[in-house]
Amino acid sequence: MVSGMENTQKHKLVVVVGSVREGRFGPVVASWVAEQARVHGGFEVETVDLADVDLPLALPAESPRSAGASYPRPAGMAPLTAALESADAFVVVTPEYNHSYPASLKAAVDWHFTQWTAKPVAFVSYGGVAGGRHAVQHLENVFAELHAVTVRDGLVFPSYFTAWRDGRPLDPETPGHARTMLDQLRWWAHALRSARDAVPYPA
Ligand SMILES: Cc1cc2nc3c(=O)[nH]c(=O)nc-3n(C[C@H](O)[C@H](O)[C@H](O)COP(=O)(O)O)c2cc1C
């Protein structure tokens, strides 16, 4: 349950499943996060799974930054682009591969630009000992370039293979941490949505 003056309006939250690997754990984490966001009550929630998206590594010659709506994306990318376009906030669910985030996530980011602008992004990571810490550090750097606002509190799951059972984290404090992350994301989603509606962002 959310509280406060700004909570009459639900904002669109897009949960991005970053890994596309065969046998991946990502959808388990994303499904639980989406459930927490629905329980939170401040969002209309949509999950986008990059495994369902046509994401070529070869980009067009022009930049998505300058081309805008005429950027030539594959037809199989349209649902992703539409979801990003309509979002007021994002939760990026990422594993850690070789001390960074997966190539699928980088491709999804690089095929877009304005869709991230002046919107908040929170991170939920998982992995071995590092729990996705390096992946999130790299993503924070990337999203700064895209004029997105990264949220301080996120969720980190080291050794996720022992920290989760039956699709849920074992630590009973984790839902509370998720609520804190979602409260911050909701605050930024509202603040930035109001600002975007009032004044065009000077990108
Ligand atoms: C290519 C590759 C590199 C990995 N590198 C790391 C790493 O640097 N740090 C880490 O904590 N886990 C690492 N792992 C373990 C992954 O975090 C773990 O396999 C996780 O399940 C991957 O997420 P996914 O199942 O959604 O693909 C790596 C896994 C793969 C496949």
111-157: pLDDT as tens digits = 999 999 999 999 999 999 999 999 999 999 999 999 999 999 999 99
Average pLDDT over the chain, rounded to whole? Answer: 95
Is the pLDDT at 4 greater than 60, yes or no? no
pLDDT score at 68: 85
Handedness of CA 142, 149, 113, 75 (dihedral sign): positive
Q: In a 3-state reduction of DSSP, which class is residue 71?
A: coil
Q: Which atom of ligand 1 is nearest to the CA of 26?
A: 26
Report whether residue 25 contacts ligand 1, using a CB cutoff of 6 Å: yes
Verdict on whether the full-model pTM lies above 0.85: yes
Q: Give pLDDT tens digits for 152-199.
A: 999 999 999 999 999 999 999 999 999 999 999 999 999 999 999 999
pLDDT score at 69: 85
pLDDT score at 203: 77
* Lowest-confidence segment of 3-12, 45-54, 123-132 by average pLDDT: 3-12
Q: Which of 22, 96, 99, 156 to mutate to test the pocket of ligand 1 (most atoms within 8 A of CB)?
A: 96
Q: In a 3-state reduction of DSSP, which class is residue 150?
A: strand
* Lowest-confidence segment of 48-52, 58-62, 66-70 by average pLDDT: 66-70
Q: How confident is residue 3, by pLDDT bands cut at 50, 70 and 90?
A: very low
Select 11-198's CATH number: 3.40.50.360, 3.30.70.100, 3.90.1580.10, 3.40.50.300: 3.40.50.360
pLDDT score at 118: 98
**Atom 18, ligand 1: residue with shortest CA distance:** 127
Is the pLDDT at 42 greater than 90, yes or no? yes
pLDDT score at 149: 98
Q: Which of 29, 97, 159, 164 to mutate to test the pocket of ligand 1 (most atoms within 8 A of CB)?
A: 97
Helix, strand, coil in percent for the chain, rounding step 5: 45, 20, 35
Is the pLDDT at 60 greater than 90, yes or no? yes
Q: Please, are residues 93 and 16 in contact by the beta-carbon 8 Å criterion?
A: yes
Dihedral pair phi/psi, residue 147, rounded to 5°? 65, 25
DSSP 32-56: HHHHHHHHH-SEEEEEEEGGGS---
Q: Sketch the domain layout of the chain as residue ranges.
A: 11-198
pLDDT score at 114: 96
pLDDT score at 8: 65
